[in-house]
Structures are given as structure tokens and as C-alpha cells.
A and B are shown apart, each in its own frame.
Chain A
Amino acid sequence: MKFDSVEQILTFAIGKEQEAADFYTDLAGKMEGKQMREAFLEFAAEELGHKKKLEAVVEGKVLLSSEERVVDLKIGESLTEVDAKPDMGFQEALMVAIQNETNAYTLYKNLAVATDDSGLKDLFLGLAQEEAKHKLRFEVEYDDFVHQEN
């Protein structure tokens, strides 16, 4: 995929947030348990929140920074891959979300590497940072509850 302009990139990113929201909404519909349904609907709502933020960037109301340092707990890196199944529990739901955000983060990092334009590069890195924040939010919850005594 080739990106030539800021507008193009942001349109792509906004589309990706909608995709993520749809992904979680879809999963919510498949869950057997009410708690898991609600959890995934919440994740979907969060993605729509991210989408709104990017729309605000388009309107010039918000700036994305690639400078901000976001902690990466790297919890996702050592976990076995999880397939979303209707009877999954919350630990697995978090693993799915962490995987999803990690994929998005990696995508933007790779796109940043692939472009020579410093302006576009910065934008991709800024988007990567946003995904890193989303990933951290799930990793923190995982850290708190799965590793209660670890």
C-alpha cells in the first residue's frame, strides 16, 4: 500500500479504527456470556473513541505526537496466540485485544520505515504511538489481574 499524503493516511487510519470497532462488536455477538459480550462492546466503543480522535486530527483540532514515550510491557510477545471462541474468558479476551493492538502498532511502525517522507513518517509514528497506548491499556489490566501475585 502506498501513501502519498497526510489525508490519505488519516483516512486509512480512521478506517482501521472502524475495522477494529467492528471486529470487537462482532466478537461481542459471538460471546456466550453476558460479561464477555459487555467487555467486547466496551472495547468496540473505545475504538470508536479513537476514531473520533483521529477525525479531530483531520479537522486540525488535535495533534498527534510521535515524541511521547509509551511504556511497552511486551506482555503480548510471549503469549500463545488465541483464537476468539464463544466460551472465552476475560484473560483470553485481553489476549485477543493485546494481539489486535500489537498488530496495528506493528503495521504503523512498518509503514513509517517504508516511507522516506519525514512528515509522513512522523504521522505514522504518531499513529503507532496511539496504538501503543491502546495496547498498554489492555496490558495493564492483564498485569493487574492475571499476574495478581506475580
Chain B
Amino acid sequence: MTENTEKLPPKERMKIPRQSMPEQEPNVRNSNFQEVPLGLTEEQALLEANRCIECKKAPCIPGCPVEVDIPGFIRLVMDKEYAAAARKIKETNALPAVCGRVCPQEEQCEMVCTLSKKFKPVAVGYLERFVADYERENDLVQLPEIAPPTGKKVAIVGSGPAGLTVAGDLVKLGHKITVFEALHKPGGVLVYGIPEFRLPKHIVQAECDVLAEMGVEFQNSTVVGKMDTIDELFEMGYDSVFIGTGAGLPNFMGVPGENLIGIYSANEYLTRSNLMRAYDFPNNDTPIIEGKNIAVLGGGNTAMDAVRTGLRLGADNAYIVYRRSEAEMPARAEEIHHAMDEGVQFHLLTTPIKFNGNGDGKVTSMECMQMELGEPDDSGRRRPVPIEGSNFIMEVDLVVVAIGNSSNPLIPQTTPGLDTNRWGNITVDEETMETSRKGVFAGGDIVTGGATVILAAGAGKKAARAMHAFMMNEVASQV
């Protein structure tokens, strides 16, 4: 690698292989909760950054749901200006340390990377993580400039990625921000849903600490809808409200036996382990059932998180039981591979129809059926159909239902005039994210149903822009 990187022609850059992320060995990491990917070394980061051929069109930018200036930040990495690179990302994405870890880059920026046509794409995610970690670990986080106070107050309900993004964008513009969080720690799904081995909690806390330093007030253990309603927030003097309460209602199968001991929703299982640190019981008081033969129902990231957690808690056999085929699993390919390498066993085209228990009310097995994909329906999708007579018994002592989440109904139920669709998702204007209630905006999973961190962040950006315009126009018209 030459020192003067501008001189390296694209052909030479394309010869640099895509850097591999160093990781804990599968048989070591499947019994600890430390982070699995260890992060690129500086040397690797520089090599990787130099792979970017800085193409004119930069398809990676529109490939990103929030249009981070990817070539821009990579250029700064090439120049060894890592903290500046992190700041460049933060111009559009407030959570690079999180997104660098959990974004499905392979479906976004990296999928459309020019290099991906003939070679492997630039590892945008690894680089994003590298610079964010570098900035934080070397105490180089600079607070952005805050505009003079506008006198406007904003209430943000929910401190997940959508709410945190709105908070970050609006506090910079001089508004007074209060984030109301129902749980005792901020971060939402980042802290209760995603395990330590994929997203260390100190990173989430660090992001919230930065926001607090910028002047954002966090009121944890405060449930809007029970303590104060949205209407009461307006009465308290807030000028606009953002609802980012997430997909916090677990979907259950609806088959017999689902209330046996040992059958958890993924939300409960992961909240016990991640937020309440039950993986470190009894140093932490919240217990969790440590099953020996565990079945996780579902094929999304949540299911992968749950099954890998179960393995780490000492399961001899950890199964993924998924109704459809591998091609249809919504989880990130990377996480599916991590799970396979760690020893998770996959039972595809399989679904339980009944749970059986013993005299103590504990689950002991589930009756399953094999499925096959039927004819495509009107939507063109082939759906799973049970195969007659394929019933079989799977011995299990722990089941985690990770089939999907719906929107938590508390806010819609306590906010008259707030329209939702029949699935409980709040309906919003696509551009402004405003709901059917004036001055009330919403984004993230509560609007879309379960989706990604980056999409929630993107929704937060749109909402923040619209909320600022909404609040300031009011002032303008008074003048």
C-alpha cells in the first residue's frame, strides 16, 4: 500500500481482498456473552478503505436508507482521520456504532457497491463500526454545535433507535427535548432485544450519554399512556410529540399448550437475558430458564438472537424451528451463519401444532408437522402447507416464540383520534411522519411493524425535519 493513496489507481485497489472480520472462535464464543465480531484492526481498516474506488455515481449513497455520505467517510478513513469520519457519518446517522454492527449492509449499501459486480463489496459496515468505536474509545467524541434555544419543547415517547434519532436531530436545532422511556434503561430494542454478543450495552449507553450531554433529558421508568397521556403532554407545554414505542407486542402461535412453563415470547426471553442480565444470575436477580433442549420458533434476527442466547446459557441442543425454507428466512445471512457455526440445528419447513407438558405444568415436548411449499398464490408467494401424516414429536424443555411482533397498543388506546391500521400500526404521512393528530408524529416499528434499526433511524430523521418545520412555522406565523 502506498502512502499517497490518491495515486493508487482503481485497478490496484480492486486487487486488495475484502478484509475478514476477526471473530471469536465458534466453540469458544458459544458459551460466553462477549461480542462475537472483534472489529477490524487499524491496518485492516486502512486496507479496506483503500478498496473504495470512489466511483462518480456512488450507488452506495442511495443504497443507504438514510443516505450516509459513504465515499465521504471512507475518504477520511484513508486519510487516517477516523474521528472526522465518524462525524461525517453522524451528519446523517446518529448511531454509527450501532448500525455498523446491526445494519443488513448486504441488502443495502454493500449490495449496490460497484465492486460487488465482479468482486466483494467494500465492507462499509466494518468501516462504520471501526470509526465509531475509534472515536468513542479514544475519547474523541465531539458534541455538535447546538443552535440557540427556540423555546420549543418536544416530547419523545420511546428511546429506541427512532426516538434517539429524533432527539439527536432536534436538540441540535435548539429545541428542549425530553425522552420518556417505559423501561429503566434507555435504548429500547437496542438494550432489551439485541444481545450483548451482538451489541454491547455500554455502547448503547454511551450513545444516550452523548445525547444527555447535548441537553436531552431522559425520564426512564415513565410509561406515557399510564402516567401521562399524549394529550396531557400537550397540556404540560410540549409543542410536538414523537411516538417511537416500537413493535412491543409479542405474537403467539395460538396453538394448545402455549401457556406451559418454559414457553417464552422472544421479548420476554431476551429482556430477561439482555436488559435484566439474567445470563449472569445470580449476580443479577432476574432468573431465566436454562433449557437443555431448546426450540426457537421463527427465522428472523430475533430468533437467531434467542437461539444463540440459549446455547450460551448451556443448551445441549438448540433448534431453530422455522415454517418456511432457508431461502425465505428474514434473518441476516451473517447471523444465520454465526448460529450454524456455533452449533444451532436448523429444522426448516417445520412447525409445532401443540405443546405438551408434565404434571408440574412444564413443557416437555412439542408435536410438529413438516411443511412443503404450496402453489404460488395471488401475491406470487409460495406458502407452507402441512404434509398430512408427517407429525412427529420434538423433546424440548424450553421454547421461545420468535415469530414476529405487533405494535404495542397502549398509546393508540390512550390517544383519541390517533388512527391505526387493523394491525395496530399508527398511520402516518409518508413524507412528514405526522399522524392523524396534529403535532403528533410517529416512526419506527410502531408504524411499519417489526423492521430494522436503520429504517427506524431513517423515519426518525424525516419526522425530526417535519417536527422542526411544524414548530417553527407556528412561531413564524405568530410573527
Contact = CB atoms under 8 A, between A and B. Distances in A.
Interface in A73-94: 73-74, 77-80, 82, 89-91, 93
Given A71-B385, A74-B386, A150 B375 contact: no
A135 B302 CA distance: 30
Contacts of A36: 422
B187 interface: no
A2 interface: no
B94 to A, nearest CB: 26
Interface stretch (B48-56, B70-78, B117-125, B400-408): B400-408
Contacts of B374: 71, 73
Most buried by B among A72, A79, A91, A148: A148
Contacts of B351: 150
Question: Main secondary structure on chain B at its contact with chain A?
Answer: loop
A97 interface: no
B404 A147 contact: yes
Given A71-B374, A140-B377, A149 B354 contact: no
A149 B383 contact: no
A3 interface: no
Interface residues of A, number: 28
B419 to A, nearest CB: 9
Contact of A150 (B323, B354, B386, B421): B323
A36 B424 CA distance: 10
A143 interface: yes
A145 interface: yes
5 contacts: A73-B383, A89-B409, A148-B251, A149-B299, A149-B450
Contacts of A69: 375
Contacts of B420: 35
Given A140-B379, A148-B403, A90 B255 contact: no
A148 B377 contact: no
Contact of B375 (A71, A143, A147): A71
A150 B299 contact: yes
B418 to A, nearest CB: 11
A91 B354 CA distance: 18
A38 B420 CA distance: 12
Interface of B: 251, 254-256, 297-300, 302-303, 322-324, 330, 351, 353-354, 374-375, 377, 379, 383-386, 402-406, 409, 420-424, 449-450
Interface in A92-123: 93, 95
A147 B403 contact: yes
A54 to B, nearest CB: 21
B403 A149 contact: yes
Given A73-B384, A136-B377, A149-B302, 20 more contacts: A35-B424, A69-B375, A71-B374, A71-B377, A77-B353, A78-B255, A78-B353, A89-B409, A90-B422, A90-B424, A145-B406, A146-B251, A147-B251, A147-B323, A148-B330, A149-B298, A149-B403, A150-B323, A150-B351, A150-B403
A91 B256 contact: no
A39 interface: yes
Contacts of B422: 35-36, 38-39, 90, 93
A80 B254 contact: yes
A135 to B, nearest CB: 13
Contacts of A80: 254-256
Contacts of A91: 251, 254, 406
Most buried by A among B297, B353, B377, B449: B377
A1 B360 CA distance: 48
A149 B300 contact: yes
A146 B351 CA distance: 14
A95 B255 CA distance: 11
Contacts of A78: 255, 353-354
A72 B387 CA distance: 11
A89 B249 CA distance: 12
Contacts of A90: 422-424
Given A78-B353, A147-B323, A150-B297, A71 B383 contact: yes
B402 A73 contact: no
Contacts of A71: 374-375, 377, 383, 385
B365 to A, nearest CB: 15
Contacts of A145: 404, 406, 423, 449
A133 to B, nearest CB: 10
Nearest to B351: A150
A147 B351 CA distance: 11
B403 A146 contact: yes
Interface string A40-74: 00000000000000000000000000000101111
A82 B252 CA distance: 14
Instruction: Please give me the 10 A-B residue pairs with the lowest Cβ-Cβ distance, nearest first.
Output: A148-B404, A149-B300, A150-B403, A78-B353, A71-B374, A35-B422, A149-B298, A149-B404, A90-B422, A150-B298
